[in-house]
Amino acid sequence: MADEGRSAAIVLALIVWGLAGALFGGLFSGLYELLLVFGVTDWQLLLAAATIAAMTTATFYGAMPVALVGAMAGVLASIGYLMFDGRRVDLTGIALVATGAGLVAGGFYAWTIRGDARTLAGTLTGLVAGVGAGGLLASGLNLYDGQVGMFVLAAGVVALVGTLYQLSEQWIGRVCAGLVPVTLGAPVVAALIASVVGASIWLMAGTTAGTLDAVTKDLIERVAGQIPLGALGGSVGGAVTGLVLELMGFRLEDRLHGGD
């Protein structure tokens, strides 16, 4: 029976970490290409893409209800933006509208359903892990002269972020429990998720918008073209990292039971 339970725990870790890695890898690859086109290069590019993707994925991993509220607010706000101003599919505009809707929805959530310090702690842990992983990856690539594809890049950054997340999650949670107001977490987290959803909808709407110029359409197609490869690399990197952490004693089932 013990062997069966251990096997089930390993399978669970592979599935959860693989799915989280796919989400992270897709976000990371899209952000990487988008920031690259906007002129962000060198270590700032890796740091920014890894940090934003890590914060978003960590929010879904650690505060799913609030993340879903933010995602729904982002979807509704973005659809409203496209209905009222569909002739100009502007990334900044749609992201700002979605962020504002996320703040309102998150504030309403915090008012009606009392959260806890973990709501924001997960996002902050993602911030720390993303900054650390982006810095380590940039340092490593600085010493390597060859080309690194998006599959390998996404797999590597997922492995680094996942490991740093597990190592820093508990102490960041303790710090947030003592310093961060509970009501602050939900609005901030929901706004973050809503902004990412808004940018994603801009990406999808832009591919079919007839009013976009050729340069913008080429940008959107370039970003979208890297997402499947990044998601695949992230899924592989996440599954391998989850397996290694599980064998090292970082039990996913213990974390799930601890959140009850």
If you average pLDDT over every residue of the chain, what do you get?
81
The C-alpha torsion from 90 through 184 and 35 to 126, rounded to 10°, is: -150
216: closest CA among 108, 118, 65, 88?
88
Q: What is the pLDDT of residue 216?
A: 61
Residues ≥6 apart with Cβ < 8 Å to 257? none
Contact (CB, 8 A) for 191 and 102 = yes
Helix axes 150-179, 118-142, angle to 10 degrees: 140
pTM: 0.79
Largest CA distance in the chain: 62
pLDDT tens-digit profile of 195-222?
A: 989 888 877 765 555 555 566 666 667 7
pLDDT tens-digit profile of 6-49?
A: 677 788 888 888 998 998 999 899 888 888 877 787 888 889 99
How many Å is the Cα radius of gyration of the chain?
Answer: 19
User: Over 50: is that where the pLDDT of 260 sits?
Assistant: no
Quickly state the pLDDT bin for 132 (edges 50, 70, 90): very high
Q: What is the pLDDT of residue 244?
A: 87
